[in-house]
Structure 1
Amino acid sequence: MKIGIAVLGAGRWGVNLIRNFIEHPNSQVLAVVDPNRDSLMAVQKQFDFNELVILATDWSQVQELPGLDAVAIATPASTHYTLAATALQKGYHVLVEKPLAINLSEAIKLCQLAEKQQRQLFVDHTYLFHPAVDRGQRIIQQHQLGKLRYGYAQRTHYEPVRHDVDALWDLAIHDIAIFNTWLQQTPIQVRATGTIFPKEEVRGKKEEGRSKTEEGINQQKGLADLVWVTLTYPDGFQALIHLCWLNPDKQRRLTVVGSLGTLIFDEMSPESPLILQQGSSNRRGEEHNVCESAIAPGLTTSIPSREILSLEQVEPLRRVCDRFLTSVQTNTPCPTSSGDASVELIRILSALSKSLELGGQPVIPF
């Protein structure tokens, strides 16, 4: 029996969810909800829905829809809590785009509500279903990088700019989730500094920039356009993350450096998103099978190699939707994307926000 789905939000990500649920043999899209009628018309044209699929401008119009089992939420982050809470209270399973909520207390309440209702709360942490993340985790667990030293990531682009959350909450959760997964640890201390760019410093022409209203909203709310994040893990590993939505150079790159090699996850790479560079530069005695450098006594080096890793060709979001449907069918949580797992990420983001408010002072997530 197919699982009846209502998708809330027909924007870029909502359209991707609709496509994947339509193509999945175990689901049936019963309704699409979006306040923008043009967006509804666009999905109607794109997917050629028959009259059985309801297109609604308000979630309340489909809450009692016969055959509805689950709700997928792809709306602005500030609306996630209210929509997800209502769906859970109505007895529906919920898939929600990251972040689960925009503050820790709301995220915890949603988890508690899902447990009370005995329904699945599944958060779309898409990158954790990416073949490159799976392969990278195996490489690190097999100690192919040697002793892990540090990591860094860049997640930047030139718009869209959100007006309900800052660049930290919009972008950082992906890289934090990947670092935590690869290291099998969570940070014990975090730091963040940020900048809000005045419009005239970012763009010269009015039509190329944000409107004065939009700029005013972000200035008033204190929504940082540029954020630098530092995560410190229990074993001393540190990760630095560069986040910006006003950067002309689009980057989606995460790197872990070890004593024997470096692992690079670069979505923008024309070759493969995952590259393993092996070769070391160590203090003598730290690792074996290397030769002493004549340039710096006591420093040993090895000839680097570069391997482009082959990966399974599968869309990560397709995996997300498949795992969500499995969770619904069995009514069991997915450890990777359960509400509880997402709460831990929001706990880290909340601590980073606190550090941002304190001008970059270290904060311990709790």
Structure 2
Amino acid sequence: MNYGVVGTGYWGKNHVRVAAELRDQGRIDDIVLCDVDEDRVSEMAETYGVDYVTDVGDLEVDAATVATPSTTHEGIATDLLSRDTDLLVEKPLALDSDAAWAIVDAAERNDCSLGVGHIFRYHPALGELKRRIDRGELGRIKYLHTRRYTFRIPRDTTGVLYSLAVHDVDTYNYLLDGLPESIHCKMDDFVREGIDETATMTLDYGNTTGVINSSWQVPAFGKTRDLVVVGSNRSARLDYLENTELEIFDAEVYSDRDGQLTSRNDGSIVHTTEKREPLKAEIEAFVDASLEGEDPPASGRVGAQTVELLERAEESADEGRVVHPTDVGRSERQPTAVNSAVNSESSDD
């Protein structure tokens, strides 16, 4: 397999590193880099001993990562897919659902594998939590809560909804094996007009409520990335910055034989999971899927559904109301028109 990496910026360079590791392990054959910044891409190509191009139209590979700005994903992805290139596109798949579904349609039309970089599906501790939820160890899932906080100048391209909360929308769908029945969202843009620096979301999954708090304007906790899942029998907490630790709380509130409410709290145990780099696991899963002619777990359709949900969250924030995304990912969707324009800017993600 010849593998390409389109975009060698902040996050793209990590894809290059992992691709080089897979080449050295014999998982892929050759690597070709692509970036409009020739100084940057030539230096990186020299570092890893690979070839490069500066125009995505000159990229001829079997599979590739697209790690360019989200605004360029549709043009680059549909062009490469039209040339039978399997793709792993960084999240979000696009910044609107028409563009996202156009990429999915292009993949299906050309019978290509398409994955989206929802990297937390490959987080070891989150994977362990998913297995315990599926086994019923936590009981009925009642509540999920996520904090993604830091203090920084907001980006001038996309806000926290598409940069941070996107992870948690997909994570909740992944853990609960479903899509929310309703969404309420509030966003603030005090620093850069039109760029949300804080987003608060409430997602209703029927008997389960999910709350997402994301902000670039909270200096109180340092960089915070954590998830709490509350079940009827047990609860769990994980720190996304600690890949291998999952804390399980053995606590519940229940009715005794006399029908009186009582509580039990037997403390918590920290479980250590297998050590694994999420990005490498993600790319390995994509490479395997490409070789087998399949989609990876975080498929293009998963990515497009997530973009639709973010659009509904924006609608909720703009209109100040709860929205009910009943038709997200509907199977009767008609293919969208393909935008064939190509923009190969580097990623600043």
Match of 2:216 in 1: 245
1:108 Cα shift? 1.2
Aligned mate of 1:59, from 56, 59, 69:
56
What value does the CA root-mean-square deviation take over the aligned residues?
2.1
Question: Could you say if the C-alpha distance between residues 238 and 4 of structure 1 is closer, same or farther in structure 2, counting changes exceeding 3 Å?
Answer: same
Q: Secondary structure at the match of 2:272?
A: coil
What is the CA–CA distance in structure 1 between the aligned matches of 2:28 and 2:95, rounded to whole Å?
29
Return the index of the structure with the highest Cα Rg: 1
* Contact 2:244-2:274 within 8 A present in 1 as well: no
Identity over aligned pairs, percent: 26
Establish whether residue 319 from structure 1 lines up as the match of residue 281 from structure 2: yes
Instruction: Please report how far the alpha carbon of residue 106 of structure 1 lies from its aligned counterpart in structure 2 after TM superposition.
Output: 1.2
Deviations 1:194-227 (A, max 9, x none): 11123xxxxxxxxxxxxxxxx4xxx1xx121101
Structure 1 residue 103, shift from structure 2 partner: 0.8
1:17 aligns with 2:15: yes
**Match for 1:90 among 72, 83, 88?**
83
Contact 1:153 / 1:175 at 8 angstroms: preserved in 2? yes
1:362 maps to which of 322, 327, 330: 322
Alpha-carbon shift at residue 44 of structure 1 (Å)? 4.1
Letter in 2 for 1:333: D
157, 161, 164: which one aligns with 1:168: 161
Q: Tell me if structure 2 keeps the 8 A contact 1:123–1:337.
A: yes
Contact between 1:272 and 1:308, CA under 8 Å: does it hold in 2? no
Q: How many correspondences in the alignment?
A: 321
State the alpha-carbon separation in 2 of the partners of residues 261 and 329 from structure 1: 40
User: Which residue of 2 is the match for residue 207 of structure 1?
Assistant: none
Identify the structure with bigger relative contact order (alpha carbons < 8 Å, sequence gap 6+).
Answer: 2
In structure 2, what is the equivalent of residue 202 of structure 1? none
Matches of 1:31 and 1:73, distance apart in 2: 12
* TM-superposed deviation, 1:158: 2.8
Deviation at 1:10, TM superposition (A): 1.0
Aligned to 2:237: 264
Q: Residue in 2 aligned with 1:49?
A: 48
1:274 and 2:246 equivalent?
yes
Matched, 1:108 2:112: no
Q: Shift of residue 37 of structure 1?
A: 4.0
Give the TM-score normalised by the residue count of structure 1.
Answer: 0.82
Structure 1 segments unaligned to the other structure (5+ residues): 199-214
Return the offset for 1:126: 0.9
- Structure 2 residues without counterparts, runs of 5 or longer: 328-349
CA distance in 2 between partners of 1:257 and 1:277 (Å): 9
Indicate the SS of the match to 1:313: coil
* 1:340 maps to 2:301: yes
Kept in 1: contact 2:20–2:31 (CA 8 A): no
